[in-house]
Copies of this chain bind each other. A is one copy, B any other.
Amino acid sequence: MSETDLTEPELDTTQLDEDDRLKPAFVRAVLDAVEAGDAAAARALVEPLHPADIADLFELTPHEDRAALATAITDLLDGDVFAEMNDYVREDLIDALSATQVADIASELDTDDAVAIIEDMEPADQREVLRALDPDDRAAIEEALSYDEETAGRLMQRELIAVPEHWSVGDVLDYLRQHDELTTDFWEIFVVDPAHKPVGTVALSWILRTPRGIAIGDVMQREQTLIPVDMDQEEVALRFQKYALISAAVVDPVGRLVGMITVDDIVHIISEEAGEDILRLSGAGDGDINEPIHLTVRTRITWLVVNLGTAMLAASVVGLFQGEIGRFALLAVLMPIVSGMGGNAGTQTLAVMVRALATNQLTSSNTGRMIYREFRIAAANGVMLGTIIGIGTFLIFGNAHLAIVIAMAMVINNLIAGLSGVLIPVTLDRLDIDPAVSSAVFVTMMTDVMGFFSFLGLATLFGLGS
């Protein structure tokens, strides 16, 4: 597939705000030109932009104006722009283009970016685009599509440089200079044995600094991190992060080199995977602000209905004590404090544990230590909060029994919050269930139910409301 220009214009940053995003006035100027039918003016504005900023322009343009914008600046819409675009916005645009146009764009890209464009299309459209591609490009993309989504096989590019161990540095230089069709998007060279299995890697800086006569086998680094082709992209990202990799060889089940993943394809995944925990924990799905609204509503309402179930369960616990509440309504005033504070403390522990699990910091070697750690934190916080609320209750209402009951309930519910905040995500993780998705429901259920039960139950034991 093709190469980028050697001499691109200087990056024009005058249209960007301090966050590197396009200024509203600029977006408006482009859309005004499009609406006025002045495609030339729109093109003149957009042309100096970096592909990532053209992609942004589409994200910042309301859904209904995107097709008109695309028509006005079609010739600026190259593969790089699509590669940088948000998934939903890209789907929007791809729907508006013909199969031949999509094939033209895909053929400009490395396999991984081409696959990202094609994988979300309807099967019929996909076949049409594949038919319009060169046989070589088609074969590479079809092979990539044969791997599961979100695996190394989908992420990798097939374009890479692999050389035999007996070549000299000079052989490598000559090979690279003589073969124009090779990719330029590489940072390391892979050294392979006759069976095409990787035996080492050489960073390009080493090749540049080594005299021509030296054998590549003598400068290569034998220690290397290989990525199995079926590895999940989250694990790939963690491996890149842990070993500070720039690129890595991808190998098939028998160990042959089949592709390469570079770190620039990984940074998006690291950010997405780290950011999605917060969204999953709150039940906001993938939380993409470009998602069609009916899909967002569906994701969020599902989670809310599940939570409605647990809220009703907690309410039924309160229902057990209706008699006491009727006789002593102050119990109803104070009970949300106990359950709410338990919920807050549980969420703190949960957030820490979900991150520690996601980054592989919480492992079987230190789980016991972490449970004990959270128990001590919960005990310390529970005693402090219980003391504050107990004293406060006594000062305001002058009822010593009520003060003791709420203080005790606060300690109990903090311990329950701390323990469920660590045990629930760890257990779900052991069962191969994503703790970020499911933990919060269970933790909130525990802190609500036990918050109400401990407070109202202790109140009953102490004869309050009787």
CB < 8 Å: which of B172, B281, B365 contacts A278? B281
Contact of A287 among B11, B208, B355 (CB under 8 A): B355
User: CB-CB contacts of A305-333 with B at 8 A, as 1s and 0s?
Assistant: 10110011011101100110111011111
Option from B7, B19, B277, B315 in Cβ contact (under 8 Å) with A336:
B315
The answer to whether A385 has its CB under 8 Å from any CB of chain B is yes
Q: In the complex the two chains form, is B204's CB within 8 Å of A208's CB?
A: yes
Contact partners of A350 in chain B: CB under 8 A: 282
From 332 to 364 in chain A, residues with beta carbon under 8 angstroms from any chain B beta carbon are 332-337, 339-341, 344-345, 347-352, 354-356, 358-364
Give the complex CA separation of A344 and B369 in angstroms. Answer: 31
Question: Is B6 within 8 A of A278, CB to CB?
Answer: no
Cβ of A241 within 8 Å of any chain B Cβ, yes or no, is: yes
Chain B CB within 10 A, most for which of A9, A177, A270, A377: A270
Using known A-B contacts A27-B365, A384-B301, determine if residue A355 contacts B275 with beta carbons closer than 8 Å: yes
Q: Name the residue in A263, A282, A325 with the highest tally of chain B Cβ atoms < 10 Å from its Cβ.
A: A282
Identify the stretch in A127-135, A138-146, A222-230 within 8 Å (CB) of chain B at 4 or more residues. A222-230
Evaluate contact between A308 and B337: CB separation under 8 angstroms. Answer: yes
Known pairs A11-B225, A282-B347, A308-B385; list 5 more (Cβ under 8 Å).
A19-B360, A20-B235, A307-B341, A316-B333, A329-B329
Interface locus among A36-44, A67-75, A292-300 = A292-300
Chain B residues with CB under 8 A of A246? 187, 246, 263-264
Closest CB-CB distance, A28 to chain B, in whole Å?
8
Chain B hits for A311, CB < 8 A: 336-337, 340-341
Q: Is A466 at the interface (CB under 8 A from chain B)? A: no
Contact A344 B205 (CB under 8 A): no
Classify chain A's interface size.
Answer: 35 or more
Query: Is A442 interfacial (CB 8 A cutoff)?
Result: no
Give the residue name and chain of the B residue nearest to A328 (CB). Answer: B326
A266 CB contacts on chain B under 8 angstroms: 267
CB distance from A23 to the nearest CB of B (A): 8
* A184 at the B interface (CB under 8 A): yes
Question: When the two chains form their complex, are residues A267 and B289 in contact, meaning their CB atoms are under 8 A apart?
Answer: no
Assess the A235–B19 pair: CB atoms within 8 A.
Answer: yes
CB neighbours (8 Å) of A207 from chain B are 208
Contacts of A308 in B (CB 8 A): 337, 341, 385, 388-389
1/0 contact string of A236-263 vs chain B (CB within 8 Å):
0011111111100000000000000001
In the complex, A373 has a CB within 8 A of chain B? yes
